[in-house]
Amino acid sequence: MARPLLVWFRNDLRLHDHEPLSYALSEERPIIPLYCVDPRHFDTVWWDLPKTGPFRARFLLESLNDLRSSLEAKGSRLVVREGHPEDVIPQLVEQHDVAEVTCYEQLGTEERDVEDAVIDALEPTDADMAFFWGQTLYHIDDLPFPDPEALPDVFTPTRKKLEKQSSIREQYPTPDAVPPLPDGLDAGRIPSLSDLGFDHDGVPDERSVLPFKGGETRALDRVDEYIWRGDHLKRYKKTRNGLLGADYSSKFSAWLAHGCVSPRYIFDEVKRYERERTSNKSTYWMIFELIWRDFFAFIGWKYGDRLFHQSGPMNVQVDWTEHEPSFEAWASGTTGIPFVDANMRELNQTGFMSNRGRQNVASMLAKSLNIDWRRGAAYFEAKLVDYDVTSNWGNWAYNSGVGNDPRNRYFNIVKQAKRYDSDGNYVRHWLPELADVPDHYVHEPHTMSHEEQKEYNCVIGADYPEPIVNLEKTYERLRNG
Protein backbone atom coordinates (compact mmCIF):
# COMPACT_ATOMS: atom_id res chain seq x y z
CA MET A 1 0.00 0.00 0.00
CA ALA A 2 1.40 3.42 -0.98
CA ARG A 3 2.28 5.71 1.88
CA PRO A 4 -0.35 8.45 2.38
CA LEU A 5 -0.02 12.14 1.75
CA LEU A 6 -1.39 14.59 4.31
CA VAL A 7 -3.11 17.76 3.04
CA TRP A 8 -3.08 20.30 5.82
CA PHE A 9 -6.02 22.68 5.30
CA ARG A 10 -5.59 26.13 6.82
CA ASN A 11 -7.21 29.28 5.40
CA ASP A 12 -8.11 27.38 2.24
CA LEU A 13 -11.32 25.60 3.20
CA ARG A 14 -12.44 24.53 -0.26
CA LEU A 15 -12.06 21.84 -2.90
CA HIS A 16 -12.01 24.04 -6.01
CA ASP A 17 -8.77 25.66 -7.18
CA HIS A 18 -6.76 23.93 -4.46
CA GLU A 19 -3.20 23.24 -5.55
CA PRO A 20 -2.04 21.14 -2.56
CA LEU A 21 -5.04 18.84 -3.00
CA SER A 22 -4.53 18.64 -6.77
CA TYR A 23 -0.89 17.82 -6.16
CA ALA A 24 -1.82 15.12 -3.62
CA LEU A 25 -4.28 13.60 -6.08
CA SER A 26 -1.68 13.56 -8.83
CA GLU A 27 0.59 11.48 -6.58
CA GLU A 28 -2.05 8.72 -6.50
CA ARG A 29 -1.62 7.92 -2.84
CA PRO A 30 -4.12 7.70 0.02
CA ILE A 31 -4.87 11.20 1.26
CA ILE A 32 -5.42 12.49 4.79
CA PRO A 33 -7.20 15.86 4.61
CA LEU A 34 -6.56 17.51 7.98
CA TYR A 35 -7.66 20.63 9.79
CA CYS A 36 -6.16 21.50 13.18
CA VAL A 37 -8.30 23.59 15.49
CA ASP A 38 -5.39 25.46 17.03
CA PRO A 39 -6.14 26.65 20.58
CA ARG A 40 -3.88 29.66 19.95
CA HIS A 41 -6.54 30.99 17.57
CA PHE A 42 -8.87 31.26 20.54
CA ASP A 43 -6.38 32.82 22.94
CA THR A 44 -6.40 36.29 24.37
CA VAL A 45 -3.78 38.36 22.61
CA TRP A 46 -2.93 42.07 22.43
CA TRP A 47 -4.54 44.29 25.06
CA ASP A 48 -6.36 41.29 26.47
CA LEU A 49 -8.49 41.02 23.35
CA PRO A 50 -9.55 37.60 22.09
CA LYS A 51 -7.89 36.69 18.80
CA THR A 52 -11.13 35.27 17.41
CA GLY A 53 -14.61 36.40 18.37
CA PRO A 54 -17.80 34.35 18.09
CA PHE A 55 -18.87 35.52 14.60
CA ARG A 56 -15.68 34.34 12.97
CA ALA A 57 -15.49 31.21 15.10
CA ARG A 58 -18.97 30.23 13.99
CA PHE A 59 -18.10 30.95 10.35
CA LEU A 60 -15.00 28.77 10.68
CA LEU A 61 -16.91 25.84 12.20
CA GLU A 62 -19.56 26.09 9.47
CA SER A 63 -16.78 26.08 6.88
CA LEU A 64 -15.26 22.95 8.43
CA ASN A 65 -18.62 21.16 8.46
CA ASP A 66 -19.17 22.11 4.84
CA LEU A 67 -15.70 20.92 3.81
CA ARG A 68 -16.29 17.64 5.64
CA SER A 69 -19.59 17.12 3.77
CA SER A 70 -17.97 17.95 0.42
CA LEU A 71 -15.13 15.53 1.05
CA GLU A 72 -17.62 12.86 2.10
CA ALA A 73 -19.46 13.32 -1.18
CA LYS A 74 -16.13 12.66 -2.94
CA GLY A 75 -15.35 9.51 -0.93
CA SER A 76 -13.14 10.92 1.82
CA ARG A 77 -13.59 12.80 5.11
CA LEU A 78 -12.05 15.85 6.77
CA VAL A 79 -9.95 14.79 9.75
CA VAL A 80 -10.26 17.33 12.56
CA ARG A 81 -8.01 17.51 15.58
CA GLU A 82 -7.85 20.06 18.36
CA GLY A 83 -4.23 20.93 19.08
CA HIS A 84 -1.13 22.61 17.77
CA PRO A 85 -0.32 21.57 14.19
CA GLU A 86 3.31 20.99 15.23
CA ASP A 87 2.05 18.29 17.64
CA VAL A 88 -0.86 16.87 15.65
CA ILE A 89 0.86 16.54 12.26
CA PRO A 90 3.95 14.55 13.38
CA GLN A 91 1.67 12.22 15.38
CA LEU A 92 -0.42 11.46 12.29
CA VAL A 93 2.75 11.14 10.23
CA GLU A 94 4.07 8.51 12.67
CA GLN A 95 0.78 6.66 13.11
CA HIS A 96 -0.04 6.41 9.40
CA ASP A 97 3.43 6.37 7.88
CA VAL A 98 2.74 9.57 5.94
CA ALA A 99 5.23 10.21 3.13
CA GLU A 100 4.57 13.90 2.58
CA VAL A 101 2.73 16.84 4.13
CA THR A 102 1.45 19.54 1.83
CA CYS A 103 -0.27 22.87 2.42
CA TYR A 104 -0.56 26.46 1.36
CA GLU A 105 1.91 28.94 2.77
CA GLN A 106 0.48 31.80 4.77
CA LEU A 107 1.55 35.32 5.56
CA GLY A 108 1.71 36.77 9.07
CA THR A 109 4.22 36.28 11.86
CA GLU A 110 2.18 33.78 13.88
CA GLU A 111 1.22 31.81 10.79
CA ARG A 112 4.86 31.60 9.68
CA ASP A 113 5.95 30.58 13.17
CA VAL A 114 3.51 27.67 13.06
CA GLU A 115 4.85 26.60 9.65
CA ASP A 116 8.39 26.70 11.01
CA ALA A 117 7.34 24.70 14.07
CA VAL A 118 5.76 22.04 11.84
CA ILE A 119 8.90 21.86 9.67
CA ASP A 120 11.02 21.43 12.83
CA ALA A 121 8.69 18.83 14.28
CA LEU A 122 8.82 16.82 11.06
CA GLU A 123 12.62 16.90 11.01
CA PRO A 124 13.05 13.58 12.88
CA THR A 125 10.57 11.83 10.54
CA ASP A 126 11.24 10.99 6.92
CA ALA A 127 8.14 12.89 5.71
CA ASP A 128 8.75 15.68 3.21
CA MET A 129 6.91 18.97 3.23
CA ALA A 130 5.58 20.72 0.11
CA PHE A 131 4.33 24.30 0.30
CA PHE A 132 2.20 26.05 -2.32
CA TRP A 133 1.04 29.61 -2.83
CA GLY A 134 -2.67 30.32 -3.23
CA GLN A 135 -3.71 33.34 -1.24
CA THR A 136 -3.62 35.98 -3.93
CA LEU A 137 -4.98 36.57 -7.41
CA TYR A 138 -1.49 36.95 -8.85
CA HIS A 139 0.83 34.11 -7.94
CA ILE A 140 3.78 35.24 -5.87
CA ASP A 141 6.18 33.59 -8.36
CA ASP A 142 4.69 35.66 -11.19
CA LEU A 143 5.36 39.05 -9.61
CA PRO A 144 7.20 41.38 -11.95
CA PHE A 145 9.61 42.21 -9.13
CA PRO A 146 12.75 40.17 -8.55
CA ASP A 147 12.49 40.24 -4.73
CA PRO A 148 10.29 41.72 -1.97
CA GLU A 149 12.50 44.85 -1.71
CA ALA A 150 11.68 45.76 -5.31
CA LEU A 151 7.92 45.83 -4.63
CA PRO A 152 6.77 49.48 -4.72
CA ASP A 153 5.37 50.85 -1.46
CA VAL A 154 2.46 52.42 -3.30
CA PHE A 155 -0.57 50.71 -4.80
CA THR A 156 -0.87 52.30 -8.25
CA PRO A 157 2.58 51.46 -9.64
CA THR A 158 2.25 47.96 -8.19
CA ARG A 159 -1.11 47.44 -9.85
CA LYS A 160 0.01 48.87 -13.19
CA LYS A 161 3.08 46.68 -13.30
CA LEU A 162 1.09 43.61 -12.32
CA GLU A 163 -1.55 44.28 -14.97
CA LYS A 164 1.04 44.92 -17.69
CA GLN A 165 3.70 42.38 -16.93
CA SER A 166 2.01 39.50 -15.16
CA SER A 167 -0.99 37.30 -15.73
CA ILE A 168 -3.36 35.26 -13.64
CA ARG A 169 -2.90 31.53 -13.58
CA GLU A 170 -5.62 29.03 -14.39
CA GLN A 171 -7.59 27.43 -11.58
CA TYR A 172 -7.02 23.86 -10.45
CA PRO A 173 -10.04 21.68 -11.19
CA THR A 174 -12.37 20.52 -8.44
CA PRO A 175 -11.70 16.81 -7.93
CA ASP A 176 -14.40 14.28 -8.86
CA ALA A 177 -13.22 11.90 -6.17
CA VAL A 178 -10.80 11.89 -3.25
CA PRO A 179 -9.40 8.55 -2.00
CA PRO A 180 -10.80 7.26 1.30
CA LEU A 181 -8.97 7.79 4.59
CA PRO A 182 -6.41 5.14 5.55
CA ASP A 183 -7.92 2.28 7.59
CA GLY A 184 -8.36 2.92 11.27
CA LEU A 185 -8.08 6.70 11.05
CA ASP A 186 -10.80 8.31 13.13
CA ALA A 187 -11.95 11.56 11.50
CA GLY A 188 -12.60 13.19 14.87
CA ARG A 189 -15.29 15.59 15.94
CA ILE A 190 -15.66 19.18 14.81
CA PRO A 191 -15.92 21.11 18.07
CA SER A 192 -18.87 23.33 18.89
CA LEU A 193 -18.65 26.98 19.85
CA SER A 194 -19.16 26.08 23.48
CA ASP A 195 -16.33 23.50 23.27
CA LEU A 196 -14.16 26.43 22.22
CA GLY A 197 -15.26 28.44 25.23
CA PHE A 198 -17.81 30.74 23.61
CA ASP A 199 -21.07 31.54 25.33
CA HIS A 200 -22.33 33.55 22.34
CA ASP A 201 -23.93 31.62 19.46
CA GLY A 202 -22.03 33.69 16.87
CA VAL A 203 -25.25 34.45 14.97
CA PRO A 204 -25.18 38.03 13.66
CA ASP A 205 -27.92 40.45 14.69
CA GLU A 206 -30.87 40.25 12.30
CA ARG A 207 -30.07 43.78 11.08
CA SER A 208 -26.85 42.39 9.55
CA VAL A 209 -26.20 42.94 5.83
CA LEU A 210 -26.12 39.15 5.43
CA PRO A 211 -26.39 36.08 7.70
CA PHE A 212 -22.78 35.11 6.64
CA LYS A 213 -22.86 31.33 6.57
CA GLY A 214 -19.41 29.77 6.34
CA GLY A 215 -18.28 27.19 3.78
CA GLU A 216 -17.43 26.71 0.14
CA THR A 217 -21.02 25.80 -0.79
CA ARG A 218 -22.40 29.13 0.35
CA ALA A 219 -19.32 30.97 -0.99
CA LEU A 220 -19.95 29.76 -4.52
CA ASP A 221 -23.65 30.40 -4.08
CA ARG A 222 -22.91 33.99 -2.96
CA VAL A 223 -20.73 34.55 -6.02
CA ASP A 224 -23.57 33.26 -8.19
CA GLU A 225 -26.15 35.30 -6.26
CA TYR A 226 -24.20 38.57 -6.47
CA ILE A 227 -22.78 38.30 -9.97
CA TRP A 228 -25.37 36.26 -11.88
CA ARG A 229 -28.76 35.94 -10.19
CA GLY A 230 -28.76 39.47 -8.79
CA ASP A 231 -26.81 40.92 -11.74
CA HIS A 232 -25.17 43.41 -9.35
CA LEU A 233 -21.68 43.37 -10.82
CA LYS A 234 -22.51 45.82 -13.60
CA ARG A 235 -23.25 48.49 -10.96
CA TYR A 236 -20.58 47.60 -8.41
CA LYS A 237 -18.43 50.73 -8.82
CA LYS A 238 -21.47 52.96 -8.22
CA THR A 239 -22.82 51.06 -5.23
CA ARG A 240 -19.66 49.87 -3.46
CA ASN A 241 -19.60 52.75 -0.99
CA GLY A 242 -23.02 51.82 0.33
CA LEU A 243 -23.79 50.99 3.93
CA LEU A 244 -27.08 49.12 4.05
CA GLY A 245 -28.19 45.84 2.50
CA ALA A 246 -26.70 42.70 1.04
CA ASP A 247 -25.78 43.92 -2.41
CA TYR A 248 -24.10 47.34 -2.34
CA SER A 249 -20.83 45.36 -2.40
CA SER A 250 -20.09 41.70 -2.96
CA LYS A 251 -19.54 40.63 0.69
CA PHE A 252 -17.09 38.04 -0.65
CA SER A 253 -14.51 38.97 1.99
CA ALA A 254 -15.39 36.45 4.73
CA TRP A 255 -15.29 33.56 2.25
CA LEU A 256 -12.05 34.84 0.74
CA ALA A 257 -10.49 35.18 4.19
CA HIS A 258 -11.27 31.56 5.04
CA GLY A 259 -10.35 30.39 1.56
CA CYS A 260 -13.87 29.10 0.92
CA VAL A 261 -13.56 30.78 -2.46
CA SER A 262 -10.35 31.44 -4.34
CA PRO A 263 -9.68 34.89 -5.82
CA ARG A 264 -9.06 33.21 -9.18
CA TYR A 265 -12.56 31.70 -9.09
CA ILE A 266 -14.02 35.20 -8.65
CA PHE A 267 -11.73 36.55 -11.38
CA ASP A 268 -12.88 33.86 -13.80
CA GLU A 269 -16.54 34.54 -12.98
CA VAL A 270 -16.02 38.27 -13.60
CA LYS A 271 -14.38 37.51 -16.95
CA ARG A 272 -17.24 35.17 -17.90
CA TYR A 273 -19.77 37.87 -16.93
CA GLU A 274 -17.86 40.34 -19.11
CA ARG A 275 -18.09 37.92 -22.03
CA GLU A 276 -21.69 36.83 -21.51
CA ARG A 277 -23.38 39.96 -20.13
CA THR A 278 -21.51 43.21 -19.97
CA SER A 279 -18.05 44.60 -19.50
CA ASN A 280 -17.73 48.06 -17.95
CA LYS A 281 -15.88 50.02 -15.25
CA SER A 282 -17.78 48.19 -12.55
CA THR A 283 -16.81 44.74 -13.72
CA TYR A 284 -13.17 45.85 -13.86
CA TRP A 285 -13.47 47.43 -10.42
CA MET A 286 -14.09 44.08 -8.75
CA ILE A 287 -10.73 42.93 -10.08
CA PHE A 288 -9.19 46.26 -9.07
CA GLU A 289 -10.33 45.63 -5.47
CA LEU A 290 -8.95 42.10 -5.54
CA ILE A 291 -5.63 43.66 -6.54
CA TRP A 292 -5.83 45.85 -3.43
CA ARG A 293 -6.13 42.64 -1.48
CA ASP A 294 -3.05 41.31 -3.28
CA PHE A 295 -1.20 44.56 -2.65
CA PHE A 296 -1.59 44.26 1.11
CA ALA A 297 -0.62 40.59 0.99
CA PHE A 298 2.57 41.44 -0.88
CA ILE A 299 3.28 44.36 1.48
CA GLY A 300 2.99 41.80 4.31
CA TRP A 301 5.44 39.59 2.45
CA LYS A 302 7.83 42.54 2.01
CA TYR A 303 7.68 43.93 5.53
CA GLY A 304 7.04 40.81 7.63
CA ASP A 305 6.92 41.67 11.32
CA ARG A 306 7.03 45.39 10.66
CA LEU A 307 3.36 45.25 9.70
CA PHE A 308 2.63 44.85 13.41
CA HIS A 309 5.08 47.44 14.76
CA GLN A 310 3.74 50.65 16.21
CA SER A 311 5.65 52.64 13.56
CA GLY A 312 4.09 50.42 10.86
CA PRO A 313 5.65 49.25 7.62
CA MET A 314 6.73 52.79 6.73
CA ASN A 315 8.43 53.25 10.10
CA VAL A 316 6.66 56.51 11.01
CA GLN A 317 7.10 57.74 14.58
CA VAL A 318 3.90 59.13 16.11
CA ASP A 319 3.45 60.31 19.67
CA TRP A 320 0.31 58.29 20.38
CA THR A 321 -2.05 59.25 23.19
CA GLU A 322 -3.13 56.73 25.81
CA HIS A 323 -6.69 57.39 26.89
CA GLU A 324 -8.69 54.36 27.94
CA PRO A 325 -12.13 56.05 28.14
CA SER A 326 -11.80 57.28 24.53
CA PHE A 327 -10.83 53.80 23.32
CA GLU A 328 -13.74 52.27 25.23
CA ALA A 329 -16.19 54.79 23.76
CA TRP A 330 -14.84 54.11 20.26
CA ALA A 331 -15.02 50.34 20.69
CA SER A 332 -18.49 50.29 22.19
CA GLY A 333 -19.96 52.78 19.72
CA THR A 334 -20.68 55.47 22.29
CA THR A 335 -18.53 58.38 21.07
CA GLY A 336 -21.51 60.68 20.48
CA ILE A 337 -20.59 60.79 16.77
CA PRO A 338 -23.36 58.80 15.10
CA PHE A 339 -21.47 57.67 11.99
CA VAL A 340 -18.69 56.17 14.11
CA ASP A 341 -21.10 54.69 16.65
CA ALA A 342 -23.39 53.10 14.07
CA ASN A 343 -20.44 51.45 12.33
CA MET A 344 -18.92 50.17 15.56
CA ARG A 345 -22.26 48.79 16.73
CA GLU A 346 -22.69 47.05 13.39
CA LEU A 347 -19.24 45.50 13.85
CA ASN A 348 -19.95 44.48 17.44
CA GLN A 349 -23.30 42.93 16.60
CA THR A 350 -22.56 41.29 13.27
CA GLY A 351 -18.78 40.98 12.71
CA PHE A 352 -19.04 43.06 9.53
CA MET A 353 -18.58 46.70 8.57
CA SER A 354 -18.52 48.31 5.12
CA ASN A 355 -15.26 49.55 3.67
CA ARG A 356 -16.48 53.16 4.01
CA GLY A 357 -17.24 52.55 7.66
CA ARG A 358 -13.87 50.89 8.30
CA GLN A 359 -11.99 53.84 6.84
CA ASN A 360 -13.93 56.32 8.96
CA VAL A 361 -13.69 54.50 12.28
CA ALA A 362 -9.97 53.93 11.68
CA SER A 363 -9.51 57.64 11.03
CA MET A 364 -11.50 58.43 14.18
CA LEU A 365 -9.30 56.23 16.37
CA ALA A 366 -5.86 56.78 14.92
CA LYS A 367 -6.18 60.32 13.56
CA SER A 368 -8.80 62.19 15.54
CA LEU A 369 -8.23 60.43 18.87
CA ASN A 370 -4.52 59.77 18.17
CA ILE A 371 -4.75 56.34 19.80
CA ASP A 372 -2.23 53.65 18.83
CA TRP A 373 -3.61 52.23 15.57
CA ARG A 374 -2.70 48.69 16.62
CA ARG A 375 -5.41 48.76 19.28
CA GLY A 376 -7.94 49.31 16.51
CA ALA A 377 -6.39 46.63 14.32
CA ALA A 378 -6.40 44.14 17.21
CA TYR A 379 -10.00 45.03 18.02
CA PHE A 380 -10.98 44.40 14.39
CA GLU A 381 -9.04 41.13 14.45
CA ALA A 382 -11.18 39.96 17.34
CA LYS A 383 -14.47 41.07 15.85
CA LEU A 384 -14.35 40.72 12.07
CA VAL A 385 -15.97 37.73 10.39
CA ASP A 386 -13.70 38.46 7.39
CA TYR A 387 -10.46 39.05 9.30
CA ASP A 388 -7.51 38.59 7.01
CA VAL A 389 -4.12 39.32 8.50
CA THR A 390 -2.57 41.45 5.75
CA SER A 391 -5.83 43.14 4.63
CA ASN A 392 -6.58 44.14 8.19
CA TRP A 393 -3.18 45.24 9.43
CA GLY A 394 -2.23 46.73 6.06
CA ASN A 395 -5.42 48.79 5.81
CA TRP A 396 -5.13 49.90 9.42
CA ALA A 397 -1.55 51.04 8.93
CA TYR A 398 -2.58 52.75 5.67
CA ASN A 399 -5.42 54.64 7.32
CA SER A 400 -3.31 55.57 10.34
CA GLY A 401 -0.42 57.31 8.59
CA VAL A 402 2.15 54.58 9.22
CA GLY A 403 1.45 52.51 6.12
CA ASN A 404 1.29 52.65 2.38
CA ASP A 405 -0.80 55.76 1.77
CA PRO A 406 1.56 58.33 0.27
CA ARG A 407 -0.95 61.09 1.06
CA ASN A 408 -1.46 60.39 4.77
CA ARG A 409 -5.08 61.57 4.84
CA TYR A 410 -7.67 61.91 7.56
CA PHE A 411 -11.42 61.67 7.11
CA ASN A 412 -13.84 64.49 7.89
CA ILE A 413 -16.31 62.10 9.47
CA VAL A 414 -19.43 64.25 9.52
CA LYS A 415 -18.85 65.28 5.92
CA GLN A 416 -18.45 61.62 4.99
CA ALA A 417 -21.61 60.74 6.89
CA LYS A 418 -23.61 63.43 5.09
CA ARG A 419 -22.29 62.26 1.75
CA TYR A 420 -22.69 58.49 2.16
CA ASP A 421 -25.68 58.46 4.51
CA SER A 422 -27.45 61.63 3.41
CA ASP A 423 -30.89 60.49 4.64
CA GLY A 424 -29.49 59.17 7.94
CA ASN A 425 -31.04 55.75 7.35
CA TYR A 426 -27.81 53.95 8.13
CA VAL A 427 -27.20 55.62 11.48
CA ARG A 428 -30.86 55.17 12.47
CA HIS A 429 -30.60 51.47 11.54
CA TRP A 430 -27.96 50.95 14.23
CA LEU A 431 -28.83 53.75 16.65
CA PRO A 432 -32.55 53.49 17.38
CA GLU A 433 -32.21 56.40 19.81
CA LEU A 434 -31.95 58.64 16.72
CA ALA A 435 -35.18 57.31 15.20
CA ASP A 436 -37.09 60.57 15.52
CA VAL A 437 -34.21 62.96 14.91
CA PRO A 438 -34.72 64.83 11.61
CA ASP A 439 -32.27 64.33 8.75
CA HIS A 440 -30.51 67.67 9.15
CA TYR A 441 -29.54 66.86 12.75
CA VAL A 442 -29.04 63.14 12.52
CA HIS A 443 -25.26 63.25 12.05
CA GLU A 444 -24.76 65.95 14.71
CA PRO A 445 -27.57 65.45 17.21
CA HIS A 446 -25.69 67.44 19.87
CA THR A 447 -26.34 70.61 17.84
CA MET A 448 -30.08 70.38 18.62
CA SER A 449 -31.46 72.84 21.18
CA HIS A 450 -32.66 71.35 24.44
CA GLU A 451 -36.27 71.77 23.29
CA GLU A 452 -35.54 70.00 20.02
CA GLN A 453 -33.82 67.16 21.87
CA LYS A 454 -36.99 66.65 23.91
CA GLU A 455 -39.23 66.98 20.89
CA TYR A 456 -37.22 64.37 18.95
CA ASN A 457 -36.85 61.97 21.87
CA CYS A 458 -33.09 62.18 21.96
CA VAL A 459 -31.76 64.04 24.95
CA ILE A 460 -28.00 64.38 24.66
CA GLY A 461 -26.27 62.99 27.71
CA ALA A 462 -29.30 60.82 28.55
CA ASP A 463 -30.52 59.03 25.41
CA TYR A 464 -27.37 59.51 23.35
CA PRO A 465 -23.89 60.64 24.44
CA GLU A 466 -22.30 64.03 24.10
CA PRO A 467 -19.42 63.84 21.53
CA ILE A 468 -16.24 62.76 23.29
CA VAL A 469 -14.17 65.06 21.12
CA ASN A 470 -14.54 68.20 19.05
CA LEU A 471 -13.83 66.75 15.62
CA GLU A 472 -13.12 70.11 13.99
CA LYS A 473 -10.36 70.78 16.54
CA THR A 474 -8.83 67.40 15.80
CA TYR A 475 -8.74 68.26 12.07
CA GLU A 476 -7.09 71.57 12.88
CA ARG A 477 -4.39 69.70 14.81
CA LEU A 478 -3.97 67.21 11.95
CA ARG A 479 -3.74 69.98 9.35
CA ASN A 480 -1.13 71.82 11.36
CA GLY A 481 0.97 69.03 11.88
Ligand X SMILES: Cc1cc2nc3c(=O)[nH]c(=O)nc-3n(C[C@H](O)[C@H](O)[C@H](O)COP(=O)(O)OP(=O)(O)OC[C@H]3O[C@@H](n4cnc5c(N)ncnc54)[C@H](O)[C@@H]3O)c2cc1C
State the binding site for FAD: 236, 249-253, 289-296, 386-388
CB of 251 to ligand X, least distance (A): 4
Q: Which is nearer to ligand X, 102 or 335 (CB)?
A: 335
Give the integer Cα–Cα distance in Å for 337 and 442: 10
Query: Do 221 and 252 meet the contact criterion of CB atoms below 8 Å apart?
Result: no
Binding residues: 236, 249-253, 289-296, 386-388
Number of residues that bind ligand X (CB under 6 A): 29
Beta-carbon contacts of residue 160 (< 8 Å; ≥ 6 apart) = none
CB of 400 to ligand X, least distance (A): 8
Out of 76, 391, 404, 474, point to the residue binding ligand X (CB under 6 A). Answer: 391
* Residue 359 found at the interface with ligand X (CB under 6 A): yes
Burial label for 406, CB within 10 Å (0-12, 13-18, 19+), is exposed
Out of 18, 29, 258, 293, point to the residue binding ligand X (CB under 6 A). Answer: 293
Give the integer Cα–Cα distance in Å for 302 and 143: 12
Query: What DSSP character marks residue 400?
Result: T
Beta-carbon contacts of residue 299 (< 8 Å; ≥ 6 apart) = 151, 153, 307, 313, 390, 394, 403, 404
* Residue 416 found at the interface with ligand X (CB under 6 A): no
Out of 335, 399, 404, 453, point to the residue binding ligand X (CB under 6 A). Answer: 399
CB of 140 to ligand X, least distance (A): 17
* Residue 208 found at the interface with ligand X (CB under 6 A): no
DSSP tally for the chain: helices H, then strands E: 20, 5
Q: 7: which strand partners?
A: 33, 102
The dihedral of CA 315, 318, 323, 325: what is its sign?
A: negative
Please choose, out of 59-67, 285-293, 301-309, 436-444, the segment that lies near ligand X by the rule CB under 6 A.
Answer: 285-293
Q: Which is nearer to ligand X, 76 or 399 (CB)?
A: 399
Binding map of ligand X across residues 235-254, x = CB under 6 A, - = no contact: -----x--------xxxxx-
Please choose, out of 6-14, 94-102, 269-277, 393-401, the segment that lies near ligand X by the rule CB under 6 A.
Answer: 393-401
CB of 377 to ligand X, least distance (A): 7
Which has the closest alpha carbon to 339: 459, 467, 148?
467
Out of 384, 402, 468, 469, point to the residue binding ligand X (CB under 6 A). Answer: 384
Report CA Rg, the chain. Answer: 23
Mapped to the 3 state alphabet, what secondary structure does 300-336 carry?
Answer: HHHHHHHHHCCCCCCCCCCCCCCCHHHHHHHHHCCCC
Q: Which residues bind ligand X (CB under 6 A)?
A: 240, 249-253, 256-257, 286, 289-290, 292-293, 296, 354-355, 358-359, 362, 380, 384, 386-388, 391-392, 395-396, 399
